[in-house]
Structure 1
Amino acid sequence: MTTVLIAIFVTVFDQLVKWIVVSHMELGETIPLIRNVFHLTYILNPGAAFGLLPHQDWFFLAIVAVLFVAFFVMRKRIPEKPFYFPAAVGMLLGGALGNGIDRVRLGAVVDFFDFRIWPIFNVADIFICLGVGLIAFYFWRHSE
């Protein structure tokens, strides 16, 4: 249940933040929060991380579908402890779904966090990275 609740929270939070960005900024607009270090820059990314594989929406949506099928098939085998493991799976699923919703609605993903030395990203991307990192940490700690 933790996994599903976290996935729902991440998806809703991601979509809410993206809605705020789209509602209050023009496409391409940048707002410096820390000049030349951290800006909010509204872009539509047609690819994956770093803009890789642009306009491959069906491929990315297929990955989201595979993640959810794998979750539903394996859900009873997800360990409840440590707490971070089911939470990590929820973060990964919620982030994937958040970006998947953008791909269906817009044909691209809304990105806006701009550190100037790194590609622009969004809330879903943060949770995907956290989820994958925590899952990797779990398997590193529990490998035999």
Structure 2
Amino acid sequence: MNYLMVLLIIILDQLSKYIVQSIFSVNKSMPIIENIFHLTYVRNVGAAFGILQNQKMFFVIITLVVISGIILFTRTQTNIHKLVVYSLSLIVGGAIGNLIDRIRFGYVVDFFDFRIWPVFNIADISIVVGAILLSYYLIIIDRVRN
């Protein structure tokens, strides 16, 4: 696990959310590129695409289990490929960023709004990029190595 990467993601995520909450009121939107990209402050009480609304304890428990599992995995393995370490660090950093919101507020602060996709945040980007990198490793690199 790259704990520096995890910490950097958490700091960037929480700082960006703090700035958005300081500047915007809920559902307030500011176009950056009109009708393409806006900053819109929304409170997400569910998961991606609005599923599982108001299931705070479920998300907290699942997130803690996943983070614990990843940390346990990385501590018990001796020869983990760097791409796996980075991908898991991105996933853990993003998961902790959103977990902090759920525990503090009962919702996740989202603000990147591309109008054709649900509004998201830095933690979400980190999780998705980590999952893509991990998938790439498992589908392409690990297959070639074995």
TM-score when scaled to structure 2? 0.91
Shift of 1:124: 0.5
Paired with 1:56 and 1:96, the residues of 2 have a C-alpha distance of 16
Paired with 1:60 and 1:85, the residues of 2 have a C-alpha distance of 24
Residues 35 and 98 from structure 1, CA distance in 2 versus in 1: closer, same or farther, beyond 3 angstroms? same
Deviations 1:62-88 (A, max 9, x none): 12111222123211317443x322111
The answer (yes or no) to whether the contact 1:48–1:54 under 8 Å persists in 2 is: yes
Paired with 1:95 and 1:65, the residues of 2 have a C-alpha distance of 12
1:35-50 to 2 correspondence within 5 Å? 35-50=34-49
Are residue 72 (structure 1) and residue 63 (structure 2) matched?
no
Give the 3-state SS of the residue equivalent to 1:32 in structure 2: strand
Residues 120 and 78 from structure 1, CA distance in 2 versus in 1: closer, same or farther, beyond 3 angstroms? farther
TM-score when scaled to structure 1? 0.93
Paired with 1:98 and 1:5, the residues of 2 have a C-alpha distance of 14
| Alignment gaps of 5+ in structure 2 | none
2:32 aligned partner: 33
1:51 aligned partner: 50
Aligned-residue RMSD, C-alpha? 1.4
1:110 aligned partner: 109
The answer (yes or no) to whether the contact 1:38–1:114 under 8 Å persists in 2 is: yes
The answer (yes or no) to whether the contact 2:74–2:80 under 8 Å persists in 1 is: no
2:95 aligned partner: 96
**Identity percentage over the alignment?**
42
